[in-house]
Amino acid sequence: MRNLRLELCYDGTRYRGWQRLPGVENTIQGKLEKTLSRILEESIEVIGSGRTDAGTHALGQVANFHCINRMPSEEILRKLREFLPEDMGVYTCKEVSPRFHARLNAREKTYCYRLWNSEEPCVFQRRYVYGDSRPLNLEAMEQAAEHLVGTHDFSAFCGNKNQKKSTVRTIYRIEILPKGHELQFLFTGDGFLYHMVRILVGTLLEVGRGEREPETISALFGKRRELAGQTVPACGLCLMEVKY
Amino acid sequence: MRNLRLELCYDGTRYRGWQRLPGVENTIQGKLEKTLSRILEESIEVIGSGRTDAGTHALGQVANFHCINRMPSEEILRKLREFLPEDMGVYTCKEVSPRFHARLNAREKTYCYRLWNSEEPCVFQRRYVYGDSRPLNLEAMEQAAEHLVGTHDFSAFCGNKNQKKSTVRTIYRIEILPKGHELQFLFTGDGFLYHMVRILVGTLLEVGRGEREPETISALFGKRRELAGQTVPACGLCLMEVKY
């Protein structure tokens, strides 16, 4: 069995997220598997570095799949580009060691959350940002972000009520970058729980609006979901990079 | 009568162009007039700096309209932002001299045509570029562009077969800027004929592919439409700025 590694991007707007679902047409994984199965004339299962939510985008998603067909990887790449819809793109398709596993071997992930913090029009980026023009205290959000960095129990930042496995994760870095009318929140960590980035941003925005004090963030670790902030919309979120 | 000046942007993808057409819902002018008439409770006619084609975008369109209603311009701006669809945006709405006319007073316009010149995916900008990955000779296109600059009879670059008025226009500047996988063609002139920018780009691309010699460009002035290059798709075109 060959093992092939894909680097891909997608505009998540019209998809129900990464994960294939029975009877649901528009998932990223489902679309990839259907297209690859057609190209390679065998049943293909695609392993992603992780699941992205419905409506969430990716600039640097990584996936792998096994196949028997000996079609050169350049030809698979070319056919993928030909057959995938225009809101999905493949950067590379490369033969890798049989042991490579896109999810299990992922070491570090970076997500970006884009907030359009202005009443000015945002016509051309509207599908990729969340618009909220309320004024924000950047310094307070940066203080709060410092408390989030490190290894903590992020139970309060997990949107899955039935999460059985550990909710401990390590955040290596958080950057909050003002870019014109936009504010970009960059999170780098060893992995993120379901909805975790969106709840982190929602909580930081509450700090930014003065509804929560930066010092109170640490008190959320190991606590119930209800105590953290709101889940901001998926459209502002983008998976930027996965490191192995 | 008051005279108000608008600066606006729009994603032209789902519109039939600027100009209001009887029985056609989705035109930029039509949508603006309907929204303004509703806000101001009087019948509003909007004058644009010029018509953009179906599918063409604008980052810096300018328009004006007359009204009797004394609603403050800030309130009109706020309501426009509230009621216009998310693919149309208004930067400013300001009271101007009764003599200001967005079309007749326009002195200079700049258009940008964006070509995605690569087989690499272009997922997030796909609505705003024209994709053609064939290799191009930038130097040859720059030579051809030099011939186009100046005051010429652009009859061969006019898509309107029934054009009665003069086809003489002045192009002040043409810049061809490589930006990663993208090539941006910037045209600044005193005005542009119907489809003119798209035919200019189509002709430059033929030069870039070696199908036409740069020196042959000057021979097109005053000639028939058939002698110039193809009209490239509207989606790559954007009206960037209008100067008065």
SS (H, E, C) chain A: CEEEEEEEEECHHHCCCCCCCCCCCCCHHHHHHHHHHHHHCCCCCEEECCCCCCCCEEEEEEEEEEECCCCCHHHHHHHHHHHCCCCEEEEEEEECCCCCCCCCCCCEEEEEEEEECCCCCCCCCHHHCEECCCCCCHHHHHHHHHHHCEEEECHHHCCCCCCCCCCEEEEEEEEEEEECCEEEEEEEECCCCCCHHHHHHHHHHHHHCCCCCHHHHHHHCCCCHHHCCCCCCHHHEEEEEEEC
Cβ separation B128–A124 shorter than 8 A:
yes
Q: What percent of chain B has pLDDT over 70?
A: 100
What is the reported pLDDT for A99? 95
Cβ separation A9–B121 shorter than 8 A:
yes
**Active centre residues of A (catalytic):** 53
Question: d(Cα A206, Cα B184) in Å, to the nearest integer?
Answer: 41
Nearest-CB residue to B123 (from A87, A119, A124): A87
What is the reported pLDDT for A163? 87
Question: d(Cα B114, Cα B131) in Å, to the nearest integer?
Answer: 9
Q: What is the ipTM of this complex?
A: 0.87
Nearest-CB residue to B81 (from A59, A87, A119): A119
Burial B172-185 (b: 16+ CB within 10 A, else e): eebebeeeebbbbb
> In which band, very low, low, confident or very high, does the pLDDT at B79 lie, cut at 50, 70 and 90?
very high
What is the reported pLDDT for A22? 87
Cβ separation A123–B81 shorter than 8 A:
no
Query: What 3-state DSSP class applies to B7?
Result: strand
> In which band, very low, low, confident or very high, does the pLDDT at B23 lie, cut at 50, 70 and 90?
confident
What is the reported pLDDT for A25? 83
What is the reported pLDDT for A5? 98
Bridge partners for A184 per DSSP: A114, A177
| Residue in chain A lying closest to B57 (CA) | A124
> In which band, very low, low, confident or very high, does the pLDDT at B194 lie, cut at 50, 70 and 90?
very high
What is the reported pLDDT for B144? 98
What is the reported pLDDT for A147? 97
Residue among A109, A90, A87, A98 nearest A39 (CA): A90
Segment B225-243 mean pLDDT: 97
Cβ separation A124–B9 shorter than 8 A:
yes
User: Has residue B183 got a pLDDT over 90?
Assistant: yes
What is the reported pLDDT for A23? 86
What is the reported pLDDT for A193? 95
**How many Cβ atoms from other residues are within 10 Å of residue A102's Cβ?**
21
Measured CB to CB, residues of chain B less than 8 Å from chain A are 8-11, 57, 59, 81, 86-91, 119-124, 126, 128
Q: What is the mean pLDDT of each run of 10 residues along chain A (244 residues)?
A: 97 96 91 97 97 96 98 98 97 97 97 97 96 97 98 96 93 97 98 96 98 97 96 98 98
> In which band, very low, low, confident or very high, does the pLDDT at B114 lie, cut at 50, 70 and 90?
very high
